[in-house]
């Protein structure tokens, strides 16, 4: 286990061809979006949409994407925080709270049009639903396949803020490991897969990302 705080810039992105960030609810915790499990989990008290903003960790990943040949984010989060920080290469495994979809017409609607919320109906009068993966839903096959292809190519796999209990996402670290990637876990607490990782950093997303990649500013 290496101790990042006094080992600034211990990761040199140029040493890696395909970098993958695999993020969970803990990545958004410092933006005020509650996690599901662990302290203060689940949405209650207030609606995060109104004020949550990306933090320095999101920005660092977005900057890295702009300065490296291949940086991808595979996220379980539906909050759109990575997009808000300017990242483009994103696979949203569990969908997005910012889209609606009509399973009948097989269309997805970017829901910046509040009108849809009046009647939750598509233009063909079919019920709309949030474009998110609910429990017992399967992942969208094309999305799962894209994530698998990107992770299978990765040589650096950094997991941030996931407890590793929800499948099939929880199987991704093993895919990266089987392909010989270097695996790093960032999480203040142990996860179900901690034993798989080459390096485990017990701290918050923004602190640990700054520690291993240096300050984004």
List contacts with ligand APR (CB under 6 A): 24-26, 29-30, 35-38, 41, 76, 94, 160-163, 165-166, 186-189, 191, 204-205
94 given a catalytic annotation: yes
Measured from the CB of residue 147, what is the shortest distance to ligand APR in angstroms? 13
**Of the residues 94, 116, 126, 199, which is catalytic?**
94
Measured from the CB of residue 187, what is the shortest distance to ligand APR in angstroms? 5
**CB nearer to ligand APR: pick between 154 and 163:** 163
Using CB atoms, what's the residue nearest to ligand APR? 26
**CB nearer to ligand APR: pick between 3 and 119:** 3
Work out whether strand 182-186 and strand 199-201 pair parallel, antiparallel, or are unpaired: parallel
**CB nearer to ligand APR: pick between 26 and 173:** 26
Reading the block at residue 44, the tokens are 């209650």
Measured from the CB of residue 202, what is the shortest distance to ligand APR in angstroms? 9
Measured from the CB of residue 11, what is the shortest distance to ligand APR in angstroms? 17
**CB nearer to ligand APR: pick between 162 and 182:** 162
Catalytic residue ranges: 94
């Amino acid at each position: 286990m290496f101790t990042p705080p006094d080992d600034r810039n211990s990761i040199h992105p140029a040493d890696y061809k395909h970098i993958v960030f695999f993020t969970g609810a803990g990545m958004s915790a410092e933006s005020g979006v509650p996690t599901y499990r662990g302290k203060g989990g689940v949405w209650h008290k207030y609606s995060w949409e109104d004020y949550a903003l990306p933090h320095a960790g999101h920005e660092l990943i977005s900057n890295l994407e702009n300065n490296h040949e291949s940086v991808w984010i595979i996220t379980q989060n539906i909050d759109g925080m990575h997009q808000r920080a300017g990242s483009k290469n994103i696979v949203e495994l569990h969908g997005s709270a910012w889209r609606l979809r009509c399973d009948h017409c097989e269309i997805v609607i970017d829901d910046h049009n509040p009108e849809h919320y009046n009647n939750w109906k598509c233009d063909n009068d079919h019920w709309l639903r949030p474009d998110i993966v609910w429990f017992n839903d399967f992942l969208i096959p094309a999305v799962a396949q894209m994530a698998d292809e990107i992770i299978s190519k990765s040589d650096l796999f950094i997991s941030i803020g996931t407890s590793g209990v929800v499948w099939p996402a929880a199987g991704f670290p093993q895919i990266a490991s089987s392909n010989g990637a270097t695996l790093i876990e960032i999480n203040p607490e142990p996860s179900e897969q901690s034993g798989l990782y080459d390096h485990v950093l017990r701290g918050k997303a923004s602190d640990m990302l700054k520690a291993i990649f240096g300050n984004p500013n």
